Structure 1
Amino acid sequence: MISRKRRDAGQAFPIYVVMVAGLLFLVFAFFAVGKASALRNGAQGAADAAALAAAEQTREDFGAPFLASLPGNMLEQFLRSHAVTGCPAAQALAAANQADVNYCQPPPLGGYRDRIKVEVEGRKPVDSSVIPGTKNRHAKATATAVVEFRCPVWRPLDFNDDGVQDLYIFQCTGVGTVEIAPGSPPPWSEVSKSLYDVHLVDN
């Protein structure tokens, strides 16, 4: 009888080993999935921050050419032709979030609106011992931000009838009236957020 119990125990031991090994594999697999998900979320946060940084820097860079376009009645042309310039700022924000920018594309959409699409890649690999091919796999994410001119209605005033505008009155959505005298414009930081809205949109 004792011999039979020993045989049964000996036969059960490999089953226990397999069960424990299977449970350990599941634990490591769940850990890997959780790590991959966390890295993906981190990459998405970095992409969002990078896209917004690029858009905000672009808005800042609009200052001098925007104000220079007012006296000579060149505002309409500026609004339709200005370039997105903020992609270097995207890399700085991505790096601060442990990621690198793979590309930053600023195709103009027209209609006084510019779209900046950024893709980032996280610096930390998934590197799971139970999931093949993850040693050098990094999380990637994309985000798109727009710089949108929100004052589609404006009125130039020429007090001296000399062909040079002395005052622009902008009606801005969600903000109200913004007045800019080309001869003595206010600091761009005071009016840029009224003239241009920066926000994320769906890719």
Structure 2
Amino acid sequence: MIGRLRRDAGQAFPIYVVMVAGLLFLVFAFFAVGKAAALRNGAQGAADAAALAAARQAREEFQAGFLASLPEDLLDAYLRAHPVGGCSAASGLASANQAELVSCIPMPGGYEDRIKVKVRGNKPVDSSVLPGSEKTKAEAEATAVIKFRCSWTSVDYNNDSIRDMFFFTCGKDFLQIAPASPPPWSTVSRILYDVHLVDN
């Protein structure tokens, strides 16, 4: 009887070993998946920050063209054709969030410009249970919009075909801009242009 129990125990031991090995594999696999998800979330956060930084920089860069267009009453043409920049700011924010900027694509659209960025995280998944993961890094994309949010009119007080004052209605905000003495761009740019993320 004792001999049979020993034989049964001896036969069960390999099964226990396989079960323990299987459980350990599942633990490592879940850990790897969790790490990959965390890295993906981190990359998405970096992409969002980079896209917003690019859009905000682009908004600051609108100043010269925006104000230069006012005296000639070419504001509509400017708003439809102005260039979109900002990619240097995107690179800096990606780096600050443990990622590198893979691409930054400005997409001018007149009254609603877009900047689409793609980033890659600096840290690989690097899991022993996922072949090739030592070189696999999370990637993410984000798109930010710079949108002109106002309606406007202008006045020529001297009847000399030169617009002396521009009036902007931007939701609940109202602005007056005289081309001869424009206000600080930092004061008005956030009223004239809204910056936000959109779905890719």
TM-score (norm 2): 0.97
User: Which of 161, 165, 168 lines up with 2:166 in the alignment?
Assistant: 168
Residue 53 in 1 paired to residue 53 in 2? yes
Match for 1:191: what amino acid?
A: V
Please identify, of 158-167 and 61-70, the stretch whose mean Cα deviation from structure 2 is larger. Answer: 158-167
Instruction: Point out where structure 1 has 5 or more consecutive residues left out of the alignment.
Output: none
Match of 1:106, SS state, is strand
Question: Quick one: distance in 2 between partners of 1:73 and 1:140?
Answer: 44
Shift in Å at residue 202 of structure 1? 0.8
Match of 1:109, SS state, is coil
Q: What whole-Å deviation, never above 9, does each CA across 1:123-172 have from its counterpart, x for those lacking one?
A: 11011100112110111111111000011x21111112222211100111
Match for 2:119: what amino acid?
A: V
TM-score (norm 1): 0.95
Question: Quick one: distance in 2 between partners of 1:176 and 1:54?
Answer: 25
Match for 1:74: what amino acid?
A: L
**CA RMSD between the two structures:** 1.0
Question: Quick one: distance in 1 between partners of 2:92 and 2:161?
Answer: 44
Q: What whole-Å deviation, never above 9, does each CA across 1:100-132 have from its counterpart, x for those lacking one?
A: 11111112223x110111111111101110011
User: 1:3-152 maps to which residues of 2 (within 5 A)?
Assistant: 3-110=3-110, 112-151=111-150
Shift in Å at residue 186 of structure 1? 0.7
Shift in Å at residue 177 of structure 1? 1.4
User: Which of 163, 176, 192 lines up with 2:189 in the alignment?
Assistant: 192
Query: Are 1:175 and 1:194, in contact at CA under 8 Å, matched by a contact in 2?
Result: no
Please identify, of 155-164 and 187-196, the stretch whose mean Cα deviation from structure 2 is larger. Answer: 155-164
Match for 1:99: what amino acid?
A: A
Match for 2:173: what amino acid?
A: G
Q: How many residues are aligned here? A: 200
